Structure 1
Amino acid sequence: MKGFYLHQAGLGINERLGGQLNLTRLPSRADREWALLGHLRLAMPANPLAPHRVRRRHPKMLPDGAKVRLLAAARTARDRMVVTWLADAGYRIGELCGLHLSDLHLREGAPCGECRTPHSHICHRENNPNRAAAKTKWPWSLEDGTVRGGLIKRVSPAMIHTYFEYVTTEYPAGAQHGMLLVQLTGPAAGQPWAAVAARRMLRRAGHRAGLGTVLPHAFRHSFATAVLDAAGGNLMIARDAGGWASTAVVDEIYAHVDITDPAFSAALRRVWGDPG
């Protein structure tokens, strides 16, 4: 529609409207990543007629008790690890399937010197054999066998437990690719596990657990909400725990009032003039 009006203005029809529509804006990070020669762009065309993007404020989260039921329905140590790591750290499925063993610093005082407690480094790699890749592209490096940089996520004791259960019972000793999650059966056993296979595993486990279809991103939504609640609404803590680019995303999607919260109920009673 904008192009039509600009064309009419070029023909001398309603040139004032054409001037109002012929706007530019500063390029965003997404523009620079996706546009041809985006890193050289100083301006992008703007369309005042385009509707504003509206983020969904109430994302679909896991039902209460889903983690316990999924762990009971999981049939391998690898699958139990996947459920635990998604639930306790809010990984995107591409981040989890893209992890290398070298990205995991699961002991205190790791040589990277960037986090004293157990943690993982989420590093964007374009050449993973399973095509899994982290969405965020934080700079990282591999120096003397130690990964530094990337997006750092803290690791829970339960995550460490499921990791060691998996690598000591199911991880193939001869694997040369260095990736964390592998296929366990079939002709491609020992090869890196693709994100689509992880999604299928969760879907099957969800149905066995009576939860219906379980989506990996539901873990991330539940994790973000839980961290935000536990942090007393601190957006910066929730942002860093989940690896979001800004607190605005956390605020718009997750920072909503729990209508069953006693504090919320008490506030309403005060407004209503109800002393009880």
Structure 2
Amino acid sequence: METIKYIERASGELRTENVPSEGMLKWLYSTGSGKVALNLLFKRKIVSDLGGWYMNTKLSAKRIPEFVNEHKINLNECQISDVAKFETFNSFFYRKLQKNARPIEENIVSPADGKILAFQTINDVSAFFVKGSEFTLTSFLRKHELAKKYEDGAMAIIRLAPADYHRFHFPASGKVSASKAINGHYFSVSPLALQGSLKIFCENYREYCILSNQDYGDILISDVGATMVGSIIQTYTANSEIEKGDEKGYFAFGGSTLVLLFEKGKVNFDEDLLSNTKKGFETTIRMGEQIAFAKFK
């Protein structure tokens, strides 16, 4: 497997990602024995449940200082800046930020911190992933009519690494539906795993809701679980009016992903995100940064 490179949005600099548990992931996703172990054990919910259980124990809190130092996490932007005040690793992992830590910009914004891929049409996906053709909306949503609604539409994938802020928010204002769950496994969504196939998104446990906005149409927001993500917690009120930037929920420990789907002809992604994606690179993004705008603007 190759190293993972991404583009820092602010500077345009090409960087190499530090992938946690890189050796283990390379073994699981690129060797015969690893793939056997992956399918027999690591993809199963019980493994993620056990990991989640440990991260909710007081013993796990001992890992926090090392994690902060290794990933250079800025504690000054957190509501709680003293690591000693977190009783468990998970309570630190889905920590809250101070109110103004993530300014909300114009138009459609990123729902989370992470690294983003932007595709103006679903057909562009196969050009990025080695086996992207295995990804279909029908297999992802498991509803033919819903998949038809977003056919030839735009799609964004926001990948959260373990070191990222793990609460996610709404990318626009509007009325939001209840979340619906789609059962699945718990494969890693690390870039080392996704190099093999985007089909992982069609196999992992996920939830989705629809955010209706007058300018942007019906935005489908899907929260995708992964290895060691013990749970996806929704904190919003279903069937309510929400404001852009309002909290939607959070992931427990592990890397995770958000997928945004837009109806055909409704939005344009920012040009730098499209350009970087076409070159084969993700782009760093922070919650609240603009990622797209209405097509008629």
Whether TM-score is above 0.5 comes out as no
- Structure with the larger helix share: 1
Q: TM-score, normalised by structure 2?
A: 0.23
Q: TM-score, normalised by structure 1?
A: 0.25
Higher-RCO chain (CA-CA 8 Å, sequence separation at least 6): 2
Higher Cα radius of gyration? 1
